[in-house]
Amino acid sequence: MSTTDDTAVDTAVEELDVLLIGAGFAGIYQLDRLRRLGYSVKIYEAGADLGGIWYWNCYPGARVDTEGPIYQFSRDDLWKDWEYSERYPDWREVRQYFDFLEQKLDIKKDVRFNTRVTGGEFDEERRQWVVSTSDGRTVRATYLVPCVGFASKPHVPEIAGLDSFQGVSHHTAWWPQEGLDFTGKRVAVIGTGASGVQVIQEAARDAADLTVFQRTPNLALPMHQKKLTPEEQDAIKAGLPQRFDDRTRAFAGFDFDFLPTNAVDLPEDERTAGYQKAWDYGGFKFWVGVYQDTLFDPASNDHAYAFWRDKVRARIHDPELADKLAPMEAPHPFGVKRPSLEQNYYDLYNQDNVHLVDISENPIDRVTPTGIKTRDGQEREFDIIVLATGFDSVSGGLTQLDFRGTDGSSLRDKWAAGIDAHLGMMTAGFPNLIFIYGPQSPSGFCNGPTCAEVQGEMVIEMLEHLRETGKTRIEATAEADKAWSQHIHELVSPTLFPLAKSWYMGHNIPGKTIQSLNYPGGLSSYRSKYAEAKDNGYAGFQFA
């Protein structure tokens, strides 16, 4: 092709039925389904490969906190030919799964990589989103479906002097694709969320010296990681159809749910036996697979915390360290800030090369060219600073894009004082903009592949409904948005979630409105609410 032809192709305005943003689980699911249904559809993806979050989060130790077998699509032609080698696969193996998806589904031919969507406005006359990209492209699409996940806007806190550091510093979600070796280095990790715990486990093994800057202890749970034997793989395969079915109903999109019993109603030995069983199973079973009153009743929650604390403290030799990592008094109710899964997280603090700085008592004063200085005047020197400081979660991936609605104002401005989004899928003033994993949907409370399918099917049904009825415009009503927010408020109010400062409620971003960013009623209830709206002619949506 000649240079002239290339230019002609590059500057042409692409017109699509559906533009998807992001080539993670949700985007890939939509692309495959919509293509088969005859829609003209493409994914625009900022990264250079498939994987979404797994493209960006390639920090040492990055690993799925969901059991591998249910961290995949449930379609027969996909799961029958795939298996992860470990119970909880790492990022490399998840990337191999995306390569497998490519072989099976031929996705990449309809993905424009290295293309970051920057914003878009709705052209009312032509009923199209006019979307722009950072490389100056314009694309028109009748429907715009961001599949940007709940963690696509990394959060770097304002720490004085951060730019002056002369060593190497990366946020976990902007990790260099070529990797970074901790061997023999002096490493600092700021943050002890899921990313922090994972990177700390690697750095403790490889670094000459590791210092963890902890503001809030992570109430992490045992992963019970293992390599899967061929016999175990066979047994897993035999049980998968049932597990896929179960995951569409369980609270968090896993294949287990809360026990239908209140911890407070049980005699102590029975209650403890229940905790022990969940603990021995491993993973999130001790969280969203224990007693149903755990996240509601402070007395029940205290029992869970005490069980967790005693298990963890037994692994830490130094009592002062134990008080920091697993205090006698819970730092916040158990399970209302996301617990991580850990392998040797508490044991590693017994190593001589690992140090903990409690920045709730002794905050970071500033980063210097050679290290980190704390309020007490002490300066520690580092070669590498890892920012495991999280994300502007759930809504940030959308509000960082400059979407302009029918009155010209931005989604960011509309949601500045609080998010209202009917079914967590659409919001008034922004017709034909439909979110997957959006705020006020199960989003960060839902296993990714489960919601890519469950919510993905809802979007497809809506698009099919539009096509069948000859309509080309759908918009949530302002009343439905408000009613949905009210519903979420009523669901979250009796829980213990508002008692912790977490990204679930928007606490981690200075100035963000405090509200439940995820739908807190569980996936089953969410599906019922959607079905109710659908059965009532898509109540809360206007069509034209």
When the beta carbons of 359 and 480 are compared against ligand N01, the nearer one is: 359
C-alpha distance from residue 314 to each of 194, 243, 302, 323, 527 (Å): 22, 34, 18, 12, 42
Shortest approach of ligand N01 to residue 66 CB, angstroms? Answer: 7
Shortest approach of ligand N01 to residue 368 CB, angstroms? Answer: 16
200 binds ligand N01, rule: CB under 6 A: no
When the beta carbons of 11 and 360 are compared against ligand N01, the nearer one is: 360
When the beta carbons of 86 and 121 are compared against ligand N01, the nearer one is: 86
Half-sphere exposure of 478 (CA within 13 A, CB side): 3
Residue owning tokens 């009153």: 293
339 binds ligand N01, rule: CB under 6 A: no
The number of residues that bind ligand N01 (CB under 6 A) is 25
Q: Which stretch binds ligand N01 (CB under 6 A): 187-195, 348-356, 405-413, 518-526?
A: 187-195
Q: Quote the CA–CA distance of 240 and 80 in Å, as a whole number.
A: 9
444 close to 241: Cβ distance less than 8 angstroms: no
Q: Quote the CA–CA distance of 252 and 451 in Å, as a whole number.
A: 9
192 binds ligand N01, rule: CB under 6 A: yes
Number of neighbouring beta carbons within 10 Å of residue 272? 15
Q: Quote the CA–CA distance of 299 and 269 in Å, as a whole number.
A: 16
Which helix (H) or strand (E) segment holds residue 96: the answer is helix 91-105
Q: Which stretch binds ligand N01 (CB under 6 A): 62-70, 220-228, 291-299, 421-429?
A: 62-70
Number of neighbouring beta carbons within 10 Å of residue 15? 13
Shortest approach of ligand N01 to residue 431 CB, angstroms? Answer: 31
Q: Which stretch binds ligand N01 (CB under 6 A): 71-79, 189-197, 259-267, 450-458?
A: 189-197
64 binds ligand N01, rule: CB under 6 A: yes
When the beta carbons of 132 and 362 are compared against ligand N01, the nearer one is: 362
Q: Which stretch binds ligand N01 (CB under 6 A): 56-64, 220-228, 417-425, 457-465?
A: 56-64
195 binds ligand N01, rule: CB under 6 A: yes
- The partner residues of 154 in beta bridges, in order of sequence, read 391
Site for ligand N01 in 485-544 (CB under 6 A): 503, 508
When the beta carbons of 430 and 497 are compared against ligand N01, the nearer one is: 497
The correct pick among 16, 58, 194, 367 for binding ligand N01 (CB under 6 A) is 194
* DSSP H stretches of helix in 248-338: 268-281, 285-288, 298-313, 319-325
Query: With helix as H, strand as E and coil as C, how does 463-532 read?
Result: HHHHHHCCCCCEEECHHHHHHHHHHHHHHHCCCCHHHCCCHHHCCCCCCCCCCCCCCCCCHHHHHHHHHH
- Mask for 350-369, x = binds ligand N01 (CB under 6 A): ---------x----------
Shortest approach of ligand N01 to residue 146 CB, angstroms? Answer: 18
Handedness of CA 120, 124, 125, 129 (dihedral sign): positive
216 binds ligand N01, rule: CB under 6 A: yes
Which helix (H) or strand (E) segment holds residue 461: the answer is helix 448-468
Residue owning tokens 């989604």: 411
When the beta carbons of 430 and 437 are compared against ligand N01, the nearer one is: 437
420 binds ligand N01, rule: CB under 6 A: no
330 binds ligand N01, rule: CB under 6 A: no
The correct pick among 22, 333, 371, 390 for binding ligand N01 (CB under 6 A) is 390
Residue 311 identity (one-letter amino acid): K
Shortest approach of ligand N01 to residue 378 CB, angstroms? Answer: 16
When the beta carbons of 119 and 193 are compared against ligand N01, the nearer one is: 193
Shortest approach of ligand N01 to residue 63 CB, angstroms? Answer: 5
Shortest approach of ligand N01 to residue 57 CB, angstroms? Answer: 6
The correct pick among 17, 32, 45, 65 for binding ligand N01 (CB under 6 A) is 65
- DSSP letter at 265 equals G
Shortest approach of ligand N01 to residue 51 CB, angstroms? Answer: 13
Tokens of 272: 């403890």
Per DSSP, the residues of 174-209 read G--TT----TT-EEEEE--SHHHHHHHHHHHHH-SE
The correct pick among 196, 282, 397, 449 for binding ligand N01 (CB under 6 A) is 196
Binding footprint of ligand N01 on the chain (CB under 6 A): 62-65, 151, 157, 172, 190-196, 215-216, 338, 359, 388-391, 444, 503, 508
